[in-house]
Amino acid sequence: MIAYFGTGLLGSGFVRKMLERGETVHVWNRTIEKARALEAAGAKVFDNPADAARGAAEIHLTLSDDDAVDSVLEPLASIVLPTAFIADHTTTAPTPTGERVRRWTERGRTFVHAPVFMGPQNARDATGLMLLSGDPTTRARVKPRLEPMTGKVLELGDDPTRAASFKLFGNMMLLVIAGGLADTYRLGRSLGIEPKDVYTLFSEFNPGNAIGGRGKSMSEGKFTPPNFELAMARKDLRLMIDEAARHGEKLDVVPAVAALCDRYLAAGHGSEDVGVIAAARP
């Protein structure tokens, strides 16, 4: 039997897929209506996590943050079976995640952090990417049970905090891209160009390719010969900021990038590739 805590968009997709596989699933959610929506699919709904977890071979969670995970799990310390495992799919911070693994290990229980790059439909279809790190014996034990939930389980090593770290890396990149697009569309509107028209550029020009090119060089500390000089990049940032201002618009993300470039320009890196902003801070 599986206990599942947190049946929002992601969790409900996971639960429905588990039920289709013939699993018995006990569910709990703070907003009980979200849990009860799964009754018709065959889930058994509980009013509190303790009753849902009693006798479970697996406990899965998709909650909001570290505090939510601990507030739900800590009262269950005497309830979780020694033979069970807890798989937390919540996006949490690396440091408290490591402390959580240690705490449950000291209790003689198995806790793994397995965050995901999956949307609700991925959870429903068992596609997408799930991350996993920690003790190799534990990984070998839980991976066969995690694989039916996703398209791929990516193992990231023995340090139990690595999955949490890599999840933050990925989300950071997604959010930075969203911020960059927001500034791009804002500049477009100030020039009388609608976002949907701005977007047509990216059907021909994919800036994401820079991750495979410049991103690799930045990770290796290779900034010469330059492909896009820092000084020229800073000039373009000035053009963006100034043009937006001419039309009464203020960008949000671009000025922060400009300030970062200025720091490296002042330290004499103007003739190097713009990727030098990943080097040790001057």
- Sorted by where each starts, the structural domains of the chain and their CATH numbers stand as 2-157 (3.40.50.720), 166-278 (1.10.1040.10)
Peptide bond into 160 cis (omega under 30): no
Provide the pLDDT for residue 21.
96
The answer to whether the beta carbons of residues 3 and 26 sit under 8 Å apart is yes
Q: What is the pLDDT of residue 168?
A: 98
Segment 205-227 mean pLDDT:
95
**What tens digit of pLDDT does each residue of 117-153 get?**
999 999 999 999 999 999 999 999 999 999 999 999 9
Average pLDDT of the residues of the chain: 97
Give the pLDDT band of residue 282 (cuts 50, 70, 90): confident
Distances (CA, A) of 229 to 132, 206, 235, 261: 38, 20, 10, 11
Give the mean pLDDT of 89-103: 98
Q: Which pLDDT band, with edges at 50, 70 and 90, does 194 fall under?
A: very high
Confidence of residue 40 (pLDDT cuts 50, 70, 90): very high
